[in-house]
Amino acid sequence: MFQELRYRLLATGYRLLATKMMPNLPFARNGFRYNQYKYYLEDKFGVRVQRISVETGFTCPNRDGKKGTGGCIYCNNQSFMPPYAVSGTLQSQIESGKIYLKERFGAEKFIVYFQSYTNTYGRLSVLEKKIQSVLKDPDVVGISVSTRPDCLDTDVLNLLWDVSNHTYLNLEIGVESVYEKTLHWMNRCHTVKDTEKALETLAGYPFDITAHIILGSPTETLKETMGMSQVLNSWNIRFLKLHHLQVIRGSELAKIFKENSFHLFTYKEYLDFITEFITQIKPEIIFQRVFSESPGSHLIAPVWGKRTTEIVMDIQKQMKLKNLWQGTQIQ
């Protein structure tokens, strides 16, 4: 009897200790130990919401010669666009996306994601027309616009402000790194100061801001890459999208890698890194993604041979095994 009581007291103590150590993570559910974007959307809209990625026809200032040519060295747009977004009008891409996402995820409502290239770079009237056209769909509850920190002038922000008064708006900014040396190596043709200036300006706008970051560039030490968490915690962002660096066929990086290969994350290395990185991100931030998922037909390296679901489960298992939670090891 006394032994049983002792075990109960110990178990209670462990539960209290775990509760005390766990930060307030309102969107960490079903075994996740970090805030998940899907749960944020479910709470906000009351149903399963998925993003429909679409090709909008815009380009980038580091492609057309305004700031540079060739684009980002890692970029091959076809490697991250779903099959339904490869061609066709916006409406046809959305209809195809709705069918696919309803069947795969049971989605009921959708956010149209202007994903490819820089969607605020070009004629404002064109962007406005595209946004208005997709919002006519009754199943669309919001817009997500992907861009760069140096392509957010006042006219663009005023347009997005007006849009946000009528629908949900998420603005995704390709930050990629907090180090100038890495941005230069990537041929981004923007600076860290551009990012900081954009985020300062955006503090006055009611948008949900996503920072997009690439992990594992050969220009950075592992310590430097891990150290990005401190900078991200200081920024005015609500969401974080993380990708590990991948070498994609048809990209400039593929040529560089073939001539002089460099180390990329192994699967075990990435699991160790990302689970630690998550613990250093403040609990207020919500993760939209924590790894890349380029199709095997486009991917040169690193080849992990893992399905998306398996990677997600392995991250959860490792965090549980090590008792790791988002925000518990902020530097």
The pLDDT of residue 85 is 63
**CB-CB contact of 281 with 326 (8 Å):** yes
The pLDDT of residue 88 is 80
Please state, in angstroms and rounded to a whole number, the distance separating the CA atoms of residues 41 and 48: 7
The pLDDT of residue 78 is 66
pTM higher than 0.85: yes
The pLDDT of residue 296 is 76
> Tokens 């486009």 appear where?
298
> Tokens 């220009």 appear where?
219
Cα distances from 193 to residues 20, 178, 221, 233, in angstroms, run 38, 9, 21, 16
> Tokens 């209290």 appear where?
16
Dihedral angle, C-alpha 162, 126, 122, 239, nearest 10 °: 40
User: The tokens of 205 are what?
Assistant: 């706008």
Burial 99-123 (b: 16+ CB within 10 A, else e): ebbeeeeebbbbbbbbbbbbbbbbe
Q: What is the mean pLDDT of each run of 10 residues along the chain (331 residues)?
A: 45 43 89 96 97 93 95 81 72 93 95 94 95 96 97 96 96 97 98 97 93 98 97 96 96 96 97 98 97 86 94 97 96 76
**CB-CB contact of 180 with 220 (8 Å):** no
Strands (E), 148-306: 168-176, 208-215, 239-244, 247-248, 286-289, 299-301
**CB-CB contact of 173 with 212 (8 Å):** yes
Does residue 206 have a cis peptide bond before it, meaning omega lies within 30 degrees of 0?
no
The pLDDT of residue 81 is 67
User: The tokens of 134 are what?
Assistant: 């997709």
Q: Where are the domains of the chain?
A: 34-321
Residue 306, judged by CB atoms within 10 A of its CB (0-12, 13-18, 19+), counts as middle
The pLDDT of residue 21 is 64
Which residue(s) pair with 113 in the sheet? Answer: 53, 144
**Domain 34-321 sits in CATH 3.20.20.70:** yes
Return the number of other C-beta atoms located less than 10 Å from residue 268's C-beta: 11
Residues 6+ away with beta carbon under 8 Å from 111: 41, 49, 50, 51, 52, 140, 141, 142, 143, 144, 168, 170
The pLDDT of residue 108 is 97
User: The tokens of 65 are what?
Assistant: 């010669």
The pLDDT of residue 318 is 97
Dihedral angle sign, alpha carbons of residues 202, 204, 205, 210 = positive
Give Cα 123 distance to the centre of its chain: 26
The pLDDT of residue 22 is 74
* Type of residue numbered 324: L
The pLDDT of residue 128 is 97
The pLDDT of residue 7 is 44
